[in-house]
Structure formats: C-alpha cells, structure tokens
C-alpha cells in the first residue's frame, strides 16, 4: 500500500527539491533522481517495471481513478494542490501526474550492441526524438559524447516517449571511447558519393550523428568506416539531424528485415 503525504507549501523542502529536478536539465546528476511527467510516460514507467521513488499528483487528478491507480503504483504518493503541481513543471500546460525515479547506475558501453552515437547534439527535442527512433528500429544503445544534451533531462524524456526505458544509455563519453566498439561506424554527409539505400549496410552497426550546426568533430569522423548520403530529390541542402537519424536507422532496419 502506498504511503500518501500532502505538500501544501512552496516552502516545503521536498517541493523545492522537486522543482529543481523538474526544471533544471542536469539536476538529476547531482540529485541522483529523474523527473518523469505526464500520463503516457508514467504509464510506461509502470508498464516496464521501472523502479520508482514516488508519484506526484494533483488533487484534481487524485479524484480520477485512472490517475489514482497510476499513482498508487509508487511506494509513496505526494499529493499537491493543482497550483503547486503546475508550478513544478516547465511545460506550459502542466500534466496531472509525475513520478520520481532513481537515476540508473553508470554503465560501460556494450562493444557489440547496435548503437547510436551523439556527438555534441545540443537540442533536447532532437536528442529525445533520436532515442525514440533508435528504440523503434532495433538499436539498443546510445552513447552521448561530452557536450551533448543531458539524456535524462525532462525535455529529452518527454521527446523520447519511453525510449529511455528500453535503451542502454551511456553519457559523458570521450571520442576515444568509440575505440571500444567492435561494430562499424557510419556517418552521413550531403557531399558523400554513396547513397545509404544503394549498398548493403552492416549489422550491427553504429550511426554517428553530429552537432546541429558544426557536424562531426574531426576526431569522431576519423573513426567512421563509411560516410553515406541521404538522397534528397526535392533539392534541400540538408535535413534536421533527428530526421536524418530516423532515415538512417530505418534503412538499417529495412535492410535487416529484408
């Protein structure tokens, strides 16, 4: 049975901790906890059996069976006035429920896993979308090189739509950590001669994605076995990095299934 506690004031130390966790992208690194908000993500936490510290729910949502049942999956429920819950979230329209999870332990890369490598990607929405595509197309590991957006930041979690809970996520990697991988690394360039759908792609492999404006660092690009082009008959110069990633991951999956 979940323990239910009420928080009624912004001066409550636990409310202040939750606010920091929910609004500061890298707060999870110092607090050791992850903020997950919204019915869908909280549902994924429960469905996939993720460990939980507590659920945070507004008083109006608590009166609705679907949210009460979801909240009671956690060992502790923090019940807040709707206005206090809304003040926690960085979203324009605050969700009715959130959960706090323990930050997963630091792990080493799996040398043989189908992998996506992020080289200093800055936009949290792009990073979350790429994680979602990786999970959808059978890539099981994401390595974020130093300088990339924080993988467990609330905005990345929202964009990932539950992908975090099925992927092996490794943050803070140095370029030379890619030398541990025993899979070929692939990258894209609009200037490459070979198209991704015109030759067989290796499996497993690693797709390496670079900074939105600067592309891949030279020391990262040098570790890629092949650089390929995504055909764009419409004439655009380039694709958004998340869109390009999805095309590449899909093509790997398509060829593997075939």
Contact yes or no for 134/166 (Cβ under 8 A): no
Give dist(CA 201, CA 15) in Å, integer: 50
What integer pLDDT is reported at residue 93 of this predicted model?
Answer: 86
Give dist(CA 153, CA 128) in Å, integer: 9
What number of CA atoms fall less than 13 Å from residue 81's CA on the CB side?
A: 6
Q: Is the peptide bond before 204 cis (omega within 30 degrees of 0)?
A: yes
Contact yes or no for 30/148 (Cβ under 8 A): no
Give the count of beta carbons closer than 10 Å to the beta carbon of residue 160: 28
Query: Does the domain made of 115-257 have the CATH classification 3.30.9.80?
Result: no
Give dist(CA 207, CA 187) in Å, integer: 6
pTM, two decimal places? 0.95
Contact yes or no for 186/207 (Cβ under 8 A): yes
What integer pLDDT is reported at residue 168 of this predicted model?
Answer: 98
Angle, helix 124-136 to helix 241-257, in steps of 10 degrees? 10
Q: Could you tell me where the DSSP H helices lie in the chain? A: 13-23, 27-31, 39-47, 59-62, 65-71, 82-88, 124-136, 154-160, 218-221, 241-257
Q: Is 131 helix (H, G, I), strand (E, B) or coil?
A: helix
Instruction: Look at residues 151, 140, 156 and name the one whose alpha carbon lies nearest to residue 41.
Output: 156
Tens of pLDDT, residues 225-236 = 999 999 988 877
Give how far Cα 210 sits from Cα of 72, 73, 227, 244, Å: 42, 39, 12, 11
Query: Does the domain made of 3-102 have the CATH classification 3.40.50.1110?
Result: no
* Domain ranges within the chain, ordered by starting residue: 3-102, 115-257
Q: For the chain, percent helix, then strand, then coil, each to nearest 5?
A: 35, 20, 40
Give dist(CA 13, CA 226) in Å, integer: 52
Contact yes or no for 101/55 (Cβ under 8 A): no
Task: Please list the ranges in the chain whose pLDDT falls under 50.
Answer: none
């Amino acid at each position: 049975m979940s323990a239910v506690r009420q928080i009624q004031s912004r001066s409550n130390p636990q409310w202040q901790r939750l606010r920091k966790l929910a609004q500061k992208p890298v707060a999870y690194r110092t607090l050791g906890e992850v903020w997950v908000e919204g019915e869908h993500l909280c549902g994924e936490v429960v469905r996939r059996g993720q460990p939980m510290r507590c659920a945070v729910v507004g008083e109006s949502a608590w009166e609705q069976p679907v949210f009460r049942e979801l909240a009671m999956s956690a060992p502790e429920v923090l019940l807040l006035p709707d206005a206090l819950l809304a003040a926690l979230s960085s979203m324009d329209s605050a969700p009715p429920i959130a959960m706090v999870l323990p930050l997963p332990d630091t792990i080493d890369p799996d040398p043989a896993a189908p992998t996506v490598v992020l080289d200093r990607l800055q936009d949290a929405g792009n990073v979350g979308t790429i994680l979602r595509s990786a999970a959808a197309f059978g890539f099981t590991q994401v390595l974020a090189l130093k300088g990339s957006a924080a993988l467990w930041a609330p905005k990345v979690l929202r964009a990932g739509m539950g992908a975090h809970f099925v992927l092996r996520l490794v943050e803070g990697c140095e370029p030379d950590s890619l030398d541990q991988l025993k899979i070929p690394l692939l990258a894209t360039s609009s200037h490459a001669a070979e198209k991704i759908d015109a030759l067989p792609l290796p499996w497993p492999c690693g797709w390496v994605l670079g900074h939105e404006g600067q592309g891949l660092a030279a020391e990262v690009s040098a570790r890629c076995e092949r650089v390929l082009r995504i055909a764009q008959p419409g004439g655009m110069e380039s694709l958004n990095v998340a869109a390009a990633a999805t095309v590449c991951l899909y093509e790997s999956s398509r060829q593997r299934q075939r």
